[in-house]
Amino acid sequence: MRSSPRGCYDTGRRTTAAGAFALSENNLYTTEAFYDYLSHLTDDGIMVFTRWGFEPPRESLRLVSLAREALGQLEVKEFSRHIIVLREGTGMMAAGGPPVVKAATGIDVTKEELGGSAIHAKASGIVDRVAKTDEEAITLARSFLSYLPTNAWSYPPVATPSEPENIDLQTVLPEDPRRPFDVKKVIRGLVDSGSFFEIKPDFARMMVTGLARIDGHPIGIVANQPMTFAGAITAAAARKARRFIDLCSAYHIPLLSLQDVPGVMTGPGGHAVP
């Protein structure tokens, strides 16, 4: 039976939400009104998947516009949400918008410079995926949710299996162990074709995390990326991996670890976010 909307989420003051939708047994609760809600987020749109209250973890969709104190609320709930999709060029997360910054400091700054996708997808790591349109954001949301059960008391759904991409792993892996290789090609050669959904692809790129399927069964992948810092683990990469492992643990998703790592990055580079 299809779930009904759980209601609206309001952060107070100017930070309002378009709506919150629960999951059905198979997919998102979808109506024409859902896209009507999206039309209100053309200027500032962020999709947040989060746990509700003290119930067992389960997924729901919140469409919100974040500024002022709402950013602090998001940071407090950093480990209670599962994915954030930010629209490129219009979405923003910041403690205050450009008018507030202008009044307080006299500096003219755009929303993108203040807290857009370039900041939060690459530097802060708050954003998990970036979308160019609302429709792409919904597609990303559906893809993410397709790997997860409806709640933590269920097991991940099994999809129709498919063969991996035709990638010759012998040619991907170099004979010289000091030469780098692209671990994403290795992943595509192991999992069902087209099933790899990367999480935080632009943040801490020396660590690759994402969901995929093997023989139709969802798995989580944590892999070192030798193409960046030779795969050495920075502080940001460790946080990225830890958070993803927590997600998989909450929903009974088995982990596949691909390791080719020289160790932990030392010195000032250990806190770099390439």
3 state SS for 76-98: HCCCCEEEEEEECCCCCCCCCCH
- Distance in angstroms (rounded) separating the CA atoms of residues 134 and 140: 10
CA nearest to 112, candidates 135, 132, 94: 94
- Distance in angstroms (rounded) separating the CA atoms of residues 148 and 155: 8
- Distance in angstroms (rounded) separating the CA atoms of residues 255 and 8: 35
* pLDDT: which is higher, 26 or 67: 67
Give the confidence band of 271 by pLDDT, cuts at 50, 70, 90.
Answer: low
Out of 1-15, 157-171, 194-208, least confident range: 1-15
Q: Which residues contact 237 (CB under 8 A, 6 or more apart)?
A: 204, 206, 207
CA nearest to 164, candidates 191, 184, 182: 191
CA nearest to 22, candidates 13, 14, 31: 31
Give the confidence band of 114 by pLDDT, cuts at 50, 70, 90.
Answer: confident
Domain ranges of the chain: 10-145, 169-271
Q: Which of 47-51, 88-92, 243-247, 270-274 has the highest mean pLDDT?
A: 243-247
Q: What would the pLDDT profile of 42-76 be if each residue is shown by its tens digit? A: 444 444 433 333 344 555 566 655 554 445 444 43
The CATH number of 169-271 is 3.90.226.10
Query: What are phi and psi for residue 10, nearest 5 degrees?
Result: -130, 120
Q: Which of 102-111, 161-170, 256-265 has the highest mean pLDDT?
A: 161-170
For the entire predicted model, the pTM comes to: 0.70
Give the confidence band of 189 by pLDDT, cuts at 50, 70, 90.
Answer: very high
Q: Which two tokens stand for residue 246?
A: 């927590």
pLDDT of residue 258: 94
243 pLDDT more than 70: yes
- What percent of the chain clears pLDDT 70, i.e. is strictly above it? 68
* pLDDT: which is higher, 247 or 4: 247
- Distance in angstroms (rounded) separating the CA atoms of residues 157 and 145: 10
At 248, is the secondary structure helix, strand, or coil?
helix
Query: What are phi and psi for residue 202, nearest 5 degrees?
Result: -100, 0
